[in-house]
Structures are given as structure tokens and as C-alpha cells.
Structure 1
Amino acid sequence: MTRRTLQAPIAAVTFDLDFTLWDLDGVLPHAEAVCHGLLEQHYPAVTQHVGAEGMRELRNQIAAERPDIAHDVTALRRAGLRRAGELAGYAGPILDTLVEEAFDVFLEARHAVRLYPDTLAMLRALQGRVRVGAITNGNADIARIGLDAYFDFALSAVDLGAAKPSHLVFDTAAGRAGVAAGQIVHVGDDVHSDVYGAAANGMQAVWLNRDNAAWPGDVPDVPHTPVSSLAELEGMLLGLIRESM
């Protein structure tokens, strides 16, 4: 594992969202249970034909059939709901309504996340000092969680048509930040999507490794800075930001 010390100048910091700024443990199963409850109450034929595991299998099938939307978790979930509704005999406007109602309750529950204790302190420390961006492969919305005031921009695979570690994602982030890739620090918990992706695209990569995990053998080694908390990283960044001014 190749460790790298962060280098000035730093003009922007970008963050992954799920498991980086907040804990997602249990959130998606809860959101899926909420969605299932709505279907059970208003569209019972769906839950009689397709259970929770069946819904996941449908999404996997659709991802295999439709590689053009495999990166788009929103499109996949909507498509899974639509196919489940069709299998249960729904069609036309009622099927459209089913998809919208079920997805809306899922999405609302999906945003019931718990911020890590060091998240707000980090964002407040960076606010106004550097450009701050969010980059997610999921469908989390920082505005729904009340964090949008801390960010200058947000990018998602849903909107971009590509997911990390694609160069398109990181090139777009550099463009939105308005600075060279080497002056951007990207922070994330996922070794492949975030750390490898950022480093391979010229950014300074930070691996947020809260659980002291080992570097996975199936991911190429890239220079990066490992930290165990955002608080640890906050101290590093504040010193470098002062050097950059």
C-alpha cells in the first residue's frame, strides 16, 4: 500500500457521501421495508408475486439486460418496481402511479441517515476556504439531508451517466471546481470507486478507513493518504490550506 502525504496547494475538497459523511447501515433495508409496506397496502398483488429478495433479483436482471442504466440506481429501482407491477398485472396509468408512489416513499426513507460525529465539524472548517463538492454513485441528495449550504457543487452517477471510478466523473468534478485535478483532495471510503478512481485521475486521494481494513488485493495499488476519521483529515487539510493561501 503506497502512502502519500497530501501536498499544497489545495484549492478544492470533494467527498463521497454514503459511509463517508454518514452511516448507511440499516438505512436501505429500512427504506425497502417502507416501500414494501406501501405496496402491500395499496398494490397488494405486487407483494403477493414479488418479495423483497425478488425485487433485488429483478433489479439485478435489469442491470444485466440494460448496461446503459446499470450505473443509475434510481433508474434501476424504478425499472424494478415497474417490472414487479407488470408481473402482478398492473398496466397503464395505475402502473405509472405505482412506480412513482413506491419510489417516492423509498427515497424519503433512504435519506433518514445518521451523520458521523465528525462530519459537520469538517464541513464547517472547510466552508469558505476551498471549493467543496459531493460525488456519489448513489442517489443521495445533500439538500434533503440539509447539508447543501456546505457544498459548492454536487455530482451523481444518476445525472452524469457514469459512475466512479470513471474519468468522466472526476474530470467533471475538476471542471466544476475550476481547478487542476492535482489541487483537489477527494475523500471516500470505497477503495475502488473513490481512492483508486481519484488517484488514477490525478487527484490527491484520501482513503477514509474507519475500520482499519486491509487494502483489497483485487484493487491496483495507488498513492493515497489513509485516515481513520474526518477529524484527523481536518487537521491535515487546515494546515495545507493555510500554506496554499
Structure 2
Amino acid sequence: MTQRSLNAPIGAVTFDLDFTLWDLNGVLQHAEAVCQGLLEQHYPAVAARFDSQGLRTLRDGIAAERPDIAHDVTALRRAGLRRAGEVSGYRGAALDTLVEEAFEVFLEARHAVRLYPDTLPLLRALHGRLPIGAITNGNAEIARVGLQGYFDFSLSAVDLGAAKPSHLVFETAAVRAGVAPERIIHIGDDVHSDVYGAATSGLQAVWLNRDDAGWPDDVPDVPHTRVDSLAGLEGMLLGLIRESV
């Protein structure tokens, strides 16, 4: 691994969301169970044909058929619900209502996350000192978690039509932050999407490696800074901010 030190001046900080600011373990499974419960109660014909695993298989098939939306987890989930409804006999307004109701209960439950203990202290320390952005490949919404007050902008694959590690994502972040890419520090847990994507787009990449994992063999080595907690990163960033004034 090619480790590097973070360099001043910095002009913005961006964060991945899932498994970076909060723990997602078990959350999606819970949200899918909540969605299945709604289907069993209000749309029993669908529930009789598709359990949670059946809906996942349906989405996988749609992703293979529709590479244009494969990056968009919201579009895939809606498309899966729509197809499940269609094959179960729903049409027109009834089908539209099924999709909206089922997706909304899933999305609400999907945001029942637990923030890591070091998340709020870091966000509070950075707030107001420089632009802070959120960048996600999922459909997490910072407002649903109550963090919108700490962020100046938020980008998602759903909105951009592209997902990390695409250069488009990080280039858009630089435009939204109003600074050159090399002055942005991006923090994330995913080696491919976050670290490789940010580094090859010219940002300073930080790998948040809470579990002391090894660098995967299938991802090219790129310069990055490795930390095992956001608490350890807080002092680094505050020092860089002071140097950047």
C-alpha cells in the first residue's frame, strides 16, 4: 500500500455515508422485512409470490437487463416492486400505489441507523470551518438521519446517474465545493469506490479502516492515508485547517 500524509492547503472535506458515518449492519435486512410486512398486510398476492429473497433475485435480474439503471439502487428497488406487482396482477393506479407505499416504508426503515461514536464529534469540529459534502452510491439521505445541518452539499449516484469510483462523481463534488480536487479530502470505508475513486480523481483519499482489513488484491494501489477511526482523523484535519488559513 502506498500511504501518504495529508497536505495543506485544504478547502473541503467529503464523506461517504454507509459504514463511514454509521453502521449499516442488519439495517437493510430489517428494512426489507418491514417492506415484506407491508406487502403481506396490504398486497398479499405479491407477498405470496415473492419473499425478501425473491425480490432481491428479481432486482438482480433487472440490473442485468437494465445496465442504464444498475448504479441506481432506488430505481432498481422501485423497478423490482413494480415487476412483482405486475406479475401478481396489479395494474394502473393500484400498481403505482403499491410501489410508492412499499418503497417508502423500506426507505424510512433503511435510515434507522446507528451513528458511530466518533461521527458527531468530528462533524461538530469541522462545521463552519470549510465546506463539507456527503457522497453516496446508495439512497441514504442525510436529512432522514438528522445530519443535514452539518453538510453544505450531498451527492448520490441516484441523482448523478453515475456511481463512485467514477470521476464524474468526484469532479461534481469539486464543483459543488468550489475548490480544486487536490484541496479536497475524501473519507470512506470502501477501497474501490472511495479510496481508489478519490485518489484517481485527484482528491486526497482517506481509507477509514475500522477493522484493520488488508488492501484487496483486485484494487490497484493508490496513494492514500489510512486511519482506524474518525477520532484519529479529527486532529489531522483541524491541524490542516489551521495550516490552510
Partner of 1:46: 46
1:158-204: CA deviation from partner (whole Å, max 9, x where unpaired): 00000000010000000000000000000000000000000000000
CA distance in 2, matches of 1:57, 1:148: 34
CA distance in 2, matches of 1:34, 1:89: 22
Alignment of 1:13-162 (within 5 A): 13-162=13-162
CA distance in 2, matches of 1:159, 1:61: 22
CA distance in 1, matches of 2:58, 2:108: 22
TM-score (norm 2): 0.99
1:132-155: CA deviation from partner (whole Å, max 9, x where unpaired): 000000000001111000000000
**Cα deviation, residue 90, structure 1:** 1.1
CA distance in 1, matches of 2:165, 2:197: 4
Alignment of 1:1-16 (within 5 A): 1-16=1-16
Equivalent residue of 1:100, what SS? helix
**Cα deviation, residue 31, structure 1:** 0.3
Partner of 1:178: 178
Partner of 2:168: 168
CA distance in 1, matches of 2:208, 2:77: 28
Partner of 1:207: 207
1:40-74: CA deviation from partner (whole Å, max 9, x where unpaired): 00000101111111100110000011111001000
**Cα deviation, residue 91, structure 1:** 1.1
Equivalent residue of 2:138, what SS? coil
CA distance in 2, matches of 1:97, 1:12: 41
Figure out how many residues of one structure are paired with residues of the other and give that number.
245
Letter in 1 for 2:146: G
CA distance in 2, matches of 1:184, 1:92: 47
Letter in 1 for 2:121: A
**Cα deviation, residue 24, structure 1:** 0.4
Q: Unmatched 5+ residue regions in structure 2?
A: none
CA distance in 1, matches of 2:228, 2:49: 45
**Cα deviation, residue 92, structure 1:** 1.2
Is residue 240 of structure 1 aligned with residue 229 of structure 2?
Answer: no
Equivalent residue of 1:207, what SS? strand
Letter in 1 for 2:111: H
Letter in 2 for 1:196: Y
Letter in 2 for 1:228: D
TM-score (norm 1): 0.99
**Cα deviation, residue 36, structure 1:** 0.1
Q: RMSD over aligned Cα, in angstroms?
A: 0.5
CA distance in 2, matches of 1:47, 1:131: 45
CA distance in 1, matches of 2:102, 2:174: 36
CA distance in 1, matches of 2:72, 2:204: 26
CA distance in 1, matches of 2:183, 2:126: 15
Identity of aligned residues (%): 79
**Cα deviation, residue 89, structure 1:** 1.2
**Cα deviation, residue 241, structure 1:** 0.6
CA distance in 2, matches of 1:90, 1:40: 15
Letter in 2 for 1:79: A
Q: Unmatched 5+ residue regions in structure 1?
A: none
Equivalent residue of 1:206, what SS? strand
Runs of 4+ deviating beyond 4 Å: none
